[in-house]
Structure 1
């Protein structure tokens, strides 16, 4: 009987210890935290009636520092590839590189592991198109407002989903003599599947 009571007591203590460890886990951020995040986006269209095709791939690694538990600032790099065909003929084969800065604000928790945020970023990009007889370079300045959400798989690792350029402004200019800048402003209204508009991006975040 004593052995049985002792075994039961050990089991209860073990369960209590595990429960306490689970309760001690925190999902989210604190002032002074650092994070590394990599986002990937891909968009493709194929119109078989006109033989028009486009594909756009981008990847953007970024590093952020939390000024408070809700506000982070940081920098990012971006790499982009664009290919298109019009009527089955190559129209664009471009690749580009960019640098930028951002400020991210976490404004709503959806449960313990879901953290939603809005992010404002500015960046400078250079895109080089090699589809013609001569390379054509396009330089652009961009500013945009994004929406996103993190889901914490563990205390240190989170999955990321974002809608880029829900609200955006860009100014682009070809690197040729006499070229004029072209400005564009977009307010992203989407459809039922994507009511906020913007370009969908997926990634992973590591909290340091």
Structure 2
């Protein structure tokens, strides 16, 4: 049996109003799954993420609000598994600018707290398990394009962003991490939104 690769593209949904004094609600949902014929050398892998946002548009171009993210990954080998559960919550500010006609561009600047828990289980000759916990902060910039299709319904296009995050280990069996991420042109998401 050939390797099965299933990608359920990000489903982005949102409700927004392009006028001041309104509330903006949106979210991203992502799922990825890979099944291996030989889990001894290449693991089965699944990933799920959900990222909601709620904001207040205080004038025609600026929105401020809160954002969060929940992510779960699981790698399954022939003799064990490795799970990662992540959570983040923070604030964001968005600047949007109509380009004329049906197009608008916007950029989000977000920052906040994040927490990660990793669980590793080995079921070999001598079974063992370990838990690693870490917490830190993140900051990121994400540009996007909005295409208004009909009566406030539209499509959002994003091709990556720029980010920095830290994770400080809170258990004895792990290490601290600092990451800089430049993903322009490497990640693409397309979604729908509604302005009313």
- Distance (Å, rounded) in 2 between the aligned partners of 1:81 and 1:162: 22
Give the structure with the larger strand fraction: 2
64, 86, 94: which is aligned to 1:104? 94
Give the distance between the partners of 2:46 and 2:136, measured in 1 at CA: 20
Max Rg structure: 1
1:197 match: secondary structure: coil
TM-score where L is the length of structure 2? 0.70
C-alpha RMSD of matched pairs (Å): 3.1
Higher helix share: 1
Q: Alpha carbons of 1:95 and 1:179: their partners in 2 closer, same or farther (altered >3 Å)?
A: closer
The number of residues matched between the two structures is 172
2:97 match: secondary structure: strand
Pick the aligned partner of 1:181 from 176, 180, 191: 176
Counterpart residue number, 1:171:
166
**Aligned-pair distance for 1:154?**
5.1
Q: Is the 8 A contact 1:41 1:201 kept in 2?
A: no
Residues 1:178 and 1:40: Cα distance change in structure 2 (over 3 Å): closer
Q: C-alpha offsets along residues 40-86 of structure 1, whole Å, 9 cap, x if unaligned?
A: 23345567684244333211111111232122111012111111246
**Runs of 5+ unmatched residues, structure 2:** 1-15, 122-128
Mapping for residues 9-48 of structure 1, pairs under 5 Å: 29-44=18-33
State the alpha-carbon separation in 1 of the partners of residues 83 and 189 from structure 2: 22
